[in-house]
A and B are shown apart, each in its own frame.
Chain A
Amino acid sequence: MPEQASKFALEVDLFYIALWLMTIFFTVGIVAAIFLFMVKYRRRHDGEIPEQIEGAMTLEILWSVIPFIMALGIFAWGAKIYHEMYTEPKEALEIFVTGKQWMWRAQHPDGQREINTLHIPVGRRVKLTMTSEDVLHAYFIPAFRTKADVVPGRYTTTWFEATKPGTYHLFCAEYCGTQHSGMIGTVTAMEPGEYESWLGGGTKEPPAVAGEKLFSSLACSTCHQADGKGRGPKLVELYGKEVKLNNGSTVTFDDTYIRESVLDPGAKIVENYQLIMPSFRGQVSEEQIAQIIAYLKSIGPKDAGATAAKPAAPAAVKSAAAKPAAVPSAKK
C-alpha cells in the first residue's frame, strides 16, 4: 500500500483489498477445482470415453446471477467513491494548476506561485482547477488516490483533503512526450499555520487582483463596463449564470466559456451584441486567463464560485444577494 494521506485513501484501499479477496477466492477456487479434477479424472487408458454431461440449467443460472449481483455491488461501491471524488466541494481552497511540457505550475489564491511543487494545508479541502498549455497531462498524487487528466482547451478539476503532514509524490500519468517521466514533483501537506507562513514568503499578488489589472491593461474594461453601457456585455455579477446567445441557445458563464471568449470571441456571441472583440490568442498565457477568470469570479455573485479566495471585490458588487447559481463545472 502506498502511504494513506487523504480522506479518500482509506476508502479506496478498503475497496481494493475487498476486490483482491474476491479475486483470490475465485482464482484459488477455480485452480483448486482444476487440480482436483486433473488428478482424480486423469486419463487411465487410451480408449477411454468418459460419461458425457450436456450441461445444467440450474448451474448456468447460478453462475450467471451470482457474479452479476456481485458485479452490481462492486459497481455501486466504485460509483459512490467516484461521485465523491468528482463532485466539487462547496467550500474549498482553490488553486490553479497549469501543465506544460514538462512542468507543473501552480498559483495559490493569494498569489503565491510554485513550479513542480504544491504546498497545501492539512485538514482543508483543496480544489485544483487545471488546464494544459500544450498536450494532455494527468495530475496524479498516489498518496491521495486522486488523479485527473489535464486537458488543453478546457478546465478539469480535482479535489482532496490531506489528512497528515508530509511530502508526497506528484506524477504526470498521461504520456506527454520526451520528458514525461521527468514531469514529477512533490506535494507538501503542512499544518494550516505553517501553510499560512509559507504563503507569507515571496512576492504575492492574488490572481483576482492580477486579473483585474490585466482586465484594464488589456482594455477589456473599456467595453465590458460595470454599468452595462459599454459595447460589450456587463460581466459584473455574471459568473455562474446562464447567458443568452444570439443564436438562441444559452451557455453558462463559467471558466470554459470565459476562456473560449478570450481566445475565440466569435464562437458564442451574447444576444444583442456584435462581434467586435478581438481575439487574445497568443497574447495571454493560460495562467493569465486563469487570473482573469479569478477576477470575474470575484466580481460575480457572492456564492457562485467555490473559491475561498478573498480578493478586494469592487464596491459595486455589494448589491443584493444574488440568487444561487449553478456551480460551474469544467467537466463537460
Chain B
Amino acid sequence: MASEVIAQTEEPRVTYLNAGHTVKSWLLTLDHKRIGLLYLFSISVFFAIGGIYASLIRLELITPQGDLMSADTYNRVFTMHGVMMIFFFLIPSIPATLGNFLLPLMLGAKDVAFPRLNLLSWYVFILGGSLMLITIMTGGVDTGWTFYPPYSSIYSNTQVTLAGVSIFITGFSSILTGLNFMVTIHTMRAPGLTWFRLPLFVWAHYATSLIQVLGTPVIAITVLALAFERTLQIGIFDPKLGGDPVLFQHMFWFYSHPAVYIMIIPSMGVVSELIANMTRKKIFGYHFVAFSSLAIAVFGFLVWGHHMFTSSQSMYAGMVFSLITYAVAIPSAIKIFNWTATIFKGSVSYDTPMIYALAFIGLFTVGGMTGLFLAALGLDVHLHDTYFVVAHFHYVMVGGAIIGYLGGLHFWWPKITGRMYPEIWGRISASIIFLGFNLTFFPQFIVGYLGMPRRYHAYVPEFQVWHILSSAGASLLAIGFIMPVVYLTWSLKYGEKVGDNPWMAAGLEWETSSPPPPENFTYQPVINHDAYEFENVKEIKEAAAREAALQTA
C-alpha cells in the first residue's frame, strides 16, 4: 500500500496543465483547453477594465450636477465601458473560454478541427485588445459604443479610427472561432454521437457560430467605411459629404442586433447544461430547446430595424421590423418554459451553479419581457434612448449572459482545475450578485419611463433618487463580482481536490479525468445513448449502492 502512494506522488498524472511549465508552452500551445484558459485570463482583464468604467459612471451619477468629471471625460468613460464590455468581454466570453475548453470534450474529440487557427484567433484577439488599450491611453473615444455618424465620422476629435481598426481586427477572432467550432461540430463528433445526442451546449454554440461567421463581416465593413470617411472624407454617412447617417444605423444594427444573440445563446446553452445536471433530468422538450437556438439565430438577422423606430426610417418599415421582432420572443419563451418544466419532479441541488441557473431564468424573463416593451412601436417612441433601454439590455446582457457565464465557470471549475471552489462562498457571492444586480438596474426602468435619457453626464434633480439606488446596487454588484475572483484564485492552490465528476453529471466531459489529459481522452469514446442519460453515470450508481448498503446495515 505505502509504496503505491509514494509511486503516485513521484509521478503525477500528466494533465493539460502540467504537460509543460514554460511560458512558451502556454503561448505556443495548440491545446484547446490551454487556449480556453488564455482567453479566460484575457477577458477577465478586459472585464475588470470595463467594470472600473462602470463604477466611474455610477459614481458620477450619484449627483445630478456632473461634478466628478468633465462632460468630455464622462462621454469617454461610458463609451469605453460599452466597447470593452461588448467587444472584448461579452462577445468572446462563453464561446472563447468555456466553448473552447468544452466543445471537443463534449464531442469526444482530441481538439478542435483547426488547432493552429484556434491559437491564431487568440493572438488576433490580443492584437485587437492591445490596440483598444492604446486607444484608451491615447485619449479614448467619446462616440458611444454605437459610433453613430456624422458625430463619429466628422465631429468627434477622439481616437475613433484607431478604435475602429481595433474592432475590425477583433472581429476576425470572432469569425475564426465560429468557423472552427462549426467545422469541429460537423466533423469531430465521436462515433455514435449523432446530432440529436449532442448536449444543448453544443447546439447553442453551433447557432452562435452561424451568427459569428455571417454577421461579423458586416460590422467589419461598417467600421472600415467609417474609418474611410474619417480619414479620406469619402461621403458615405455624412450628409455634408453626400452620405446618409441612417445607412450606418442599418449596417451597424444588422450585425449588432444578432451580436446580442452571440452573447446570450451560449449562455442559454450553459443554463441548459446546468439545469439538466443539477436536477438530473433530461431537458424537457430537448428538440424544441435545440431548435429554438437556431430559430433565435436566424430571426435575429431580420430584426435590426427595431433599433430605429424614431430614426426617420419609414413607418411601415418600422411595423415590419416590430412584427418580426415578436417572432424572436417565441423561441425565447419556449426555452424558459422548458427549463422550468425540467425542474419539475427533478432531483434539485442547491449548489452555486443551480443558483446561477435559476437567477438566469428570473432575470432573463424580466429582460426578455421588457424587450417586448421596446419592440412595441408606440411605446418605444417614448422609451427609446432612455434608461429603460439601459435597464433592459443590462438585464439581458448582465442578468443573462454574465450570470450564465459565471454559472458555467463554477460548474466546470473542478473539470478545468481539478479542484473545487468553496461552495459556501459561491452561494453567498451568487446571492449578492443577484440582489446587487436588481438594485442596480430595476430603478433604471422607472427613471427611464420618467424620461431620463441615456448618456447624460448631468441630469435634472428630480431623477436623483433612482440614481442613488442604482449606484448603491452597483457597489453591491461590484462586491459580488470581486468575490469569485478571490475565492476561485484561492482554490487553485487550496481548493479541495475532487474526483473526475463531483456533480455526478452526465456528459462526455465528465468521463475523462479532471483536469483532463492533453489529448482529452485516453481512449476513443463511443456513444450509444442520448444526452443527459443519468442512468449511465457511474458516480450516481456508486452513491446509490453505498446508500443501499447503509440502509441494509
* A34/B343 contact (C-beta < 8 A), A149-B312, A177-B156 known: yes
Q: Are B459 and A181 in contact (CB under 8 A)?
A: yes
Distance of B219 from chain A, by nearest CB (Å): 19
Q: Are B348 and A332 in contact (CB under 8 A)?
A: no
- How many interface residues does B have (CB within 8 Å)? 102
Which residues of B have CB within 8 Å of A323?
Answer: none
Q: Are A147 and B150 in contact (CB under 8 A)?
A: no
- Asked whether any CB of chain A lies closer than 8 Å to the CB of B12, the reply is no
8 Å CB contacts to A: which residues of B316-334?
318-319, 322-323, 326-327, 329-330, 333-334
Q: Are B281 and A30 in contact (CB under 8 A)?
A: no
* A74/B372 contact (C-beta < 8 A), A154-B312, A176-B151 known: yes
A174 CA / B453 CA spacing, docked (Å): 8
Which residues of A have CB within 8 Å of B318?
Answer: 82, 86
* A71/B372 contact (C-beta < 8 A), A15-B378, A149-B312 known: yes
- Asked whether any CB of chain B lies closer than 8 Å to the CB of A279, the reply is no
A51 CA / B279 CA spacing, docked (Å): 11
Q: Contact string, B286-311, partner A, CB cutoff 8 A, digits 1/0?
A: 11100000000000000000000111
Residue from A30, A101, A142 in contact with B450 in the complex, judged by beta carbons closer than 8 Å: A142
A172 CA / B341 CA spacing, docked (Å): 46
- Asked whether any CB of chain B lies closer than 8 Å to the CB of A178, the reply is yes
Distance of B308 from chain A, by nearest CB (Å): 8
Which residues of A have CB within 8 Å of B459?
Answer: 181
Distance of B362 from chain A, by nearest CB (Å): 6
**Quick one: closest A residue to B450, CB to CB?**
A2
Q: Are B378 and A180 in contact (CB under 8 A)?
A: no
Which residues of A have CB within 8 Å of B246?
Answer: 151
Q: Are B280 and A49 in contact (CB under 8 A)?
A: yes
8 Å CB contacts to B: which residues of A159-183?
169, 171-182
A68 CA / B299 CA spacing, docked (Å): 14
* A331/B312 contact (C-beta < 8 A), A22-B369, A41-B345, A175-B144 known: yes
A52 CA / B456 CA spacing, docked (Å): 52
Residue from A16, A63, A330 in contact with B449 in the complex, judged by beta carbons closer than 8 Å: A16
Of A53-61, A191-199, A210-218, A221-229, the one contacting chain B is: A53-61
Chain A at the B interface: SS class: mixed
Q: Contact string, A20-41, partner B, CB cutoff 8 A, digits 1/0?
A: 0011001100110110011001
Which residues of B have CB within 8 Å of A101?
Answer: 155
- Asked whether any CB of chain B lies closer than 8 Å to the CB of A156, the reply is yes
Residue from A41, A46, A55, A171 in contact with B346 in the complex, judged by beta carbons closer than 8 Å: A41
Residue from B155, B238, B340, B453 in contact with A34 in the complex, judged by beta carbons closer than 8 Å: B340
A residues with CB within 8 A of B: 1-2, 8, 11-12, 15-16, 19, 22-23, 26-27, 30-31, 33-34, 37-38, 41-56, 59-60, 63-64, 67-68, 71-72, 74-75, 77-87, 101, 134-136, 138, 140, 142-143, 145-149, 151-154, 156, 169, 171-182, 184, 264, 330-332
Known: A53-B281, A81-B378. 17 other contacts (CB 8 A): A22-B369, A26-B369, A30-B362, A37-B344, A47-B541, A49-B540, A55-B285, A78-B379, A82-B377, A85-B381, A136-B150, A136-B245, A142-B382, A148-B310, A151-B246, A173-B386, A177-B151
B residues with CB within 8 A of A: 66, 71-72, 75, 142-144, 146, 148, 150-151, 155-156, 238-240, 242, 244-246, 279-282, 284-288, 309-315, 318-319, 322-323, 326-327, 329-330, 333-334, 336-338, 340-341, 343-350, 358, 361-362, 365-366, 369-370, 372-373, 375-382, 384-386, 449-451, 453-460, 504, 534-535, 540-548
